[in-house]
Amino acid sequence: MSPQQLQLPDGSRIPYILQRRARRTVGLRISAEGLVVNAPVRLSIKTLETMLLSKAGWIQSKLQARQDHPAPVMHWQSGASVLLLGETLTLDIHNRPRQRQVQIDAGRLSVGVPDVEDTSAVARKVLLWYKQQAGQDFQRRLELYAARLGVPTPPLYLSNARSRWGSCNSRGEVRLNWRLIQAPAHIINYVVCHELAHLKQMNHSPKFWALVGSLYPDYKSAEHALKQMSAQLHVMSLG
Ligand SMILES: [Zn+2]
């Protein structure tokens, strides 16, 4: 990871963080720290920057948008709101070192920790619980829809990807982003059906979408709703 600067023709500069990765294409993302570029290990800086310059307009508008609408941050303290299956719950944190389990009680997510001021311990405990809920919930949905599609239930892995909600690889393994457990059930069902359909169609062809539609007829509105709430689903983090 190294800080770089892209010099624009008008003399201004865009700072960026360069991360070399075992990949074939260049990936750009706007993070809280600014522009992050993931580039193939052997790509020269010159080639890379020529490519970045061709996208300078897009990069600048994204950076500006981020500045105008900073992503909301999660405050790990009592009273903060969290989402679970589309329902808003209120965090209720107390000094209760012996309360091992996170519990849901009348719209509250109750978390016992040795020290309520230790927000990173609270965050770790809640995130671990969310991932457990996600694993159980997604597994059930995957089994249900795999049966409808007439295929064996594929192995499920949870992911923490920044930009993808799900993926399915050529080995038939399905990855679902644990953050989806915050979304309403119909959105999770859509993503599950989307990835399952890839077991039969490894592409986004009309045949693929027809298959998705046969499993999950209302997929268009679910896909739209997921885009709408995407930023919200990323609020919950350790940071
Ligand atoms: Zn897909």
Tell me the CATH number at 165. 3.30.2010.10
SS3 category, 164:
coil
- Residue 196, judged by CB atoms within 10 A of its CB (0-12, 13-18, 19+), counts as buried
| Distance from the alpha carbon of residue 151 to the mean position of ligand 1, in angstroms | 18
Ligand 1 centroid to Cα of residue 199, in Å, is 10
Query: Do 11 and 122 fall within a single domain?
Result: no
Residue 201 in domain: yes
* Domain housing 52: 2-68
Q: How many angstroms separate the alpha carbon of residue 200 from the centre of ligand 1?
A: 11
Specify whether 197 is located in the same domain as 137.
yes
Are residues 182 and 118 located together in one domain of the fold? Answer: yes
Average pLDDT, rounded, for the chain: 92
Backbone angles phi, psi at 148, to 5 degrees: -65, -35
Q: How many domains does the chain have?
A: 2
pLDDT value at position 108? 96
**Are residues 149 and 47 both part of a single domain?**
no
Residue 152 has pLDDT above 80, yes or no: yes
Residues pairing with 4 in the sheet: 16
Q: Which of 2-16, 117-131, 136-150, 190-204 has the lowest mean pLDDT?
A: 2-16
Q: Are residues 135 and 229 in the same domain?
A: yes
Q: How far, in Å, is the centroid of ligand 1 from the Cα of 122?
A: 34
Q: What is the DSSP letter of 74?
A: -
CB atoms near residue 183 (< 10 Å): 25
pLDDT of residue 239: 56
User: What percent of the chain lies above the pLDDT cut of 90?
Assistant: 77
CA 57–ligand 1 middle distance (angstroms): 28
User: Can you read off the two tokens belonging to residue 87?
Assistant: 């329902």
- What pLDDT is stored for residue 71 in this prediction? 67
Strands 34-40 vs 81-84: parallel, antiparallel or unpaired: unpaired
Spatial separation of the C-alpha atoms in residues 112 and 237, rounded to whole Å: 19
Give the Å distance between the CA of 202 and the centre of ligand 1: 8
Q: What is the mean pLDDT of residues 26-40?
A: 89
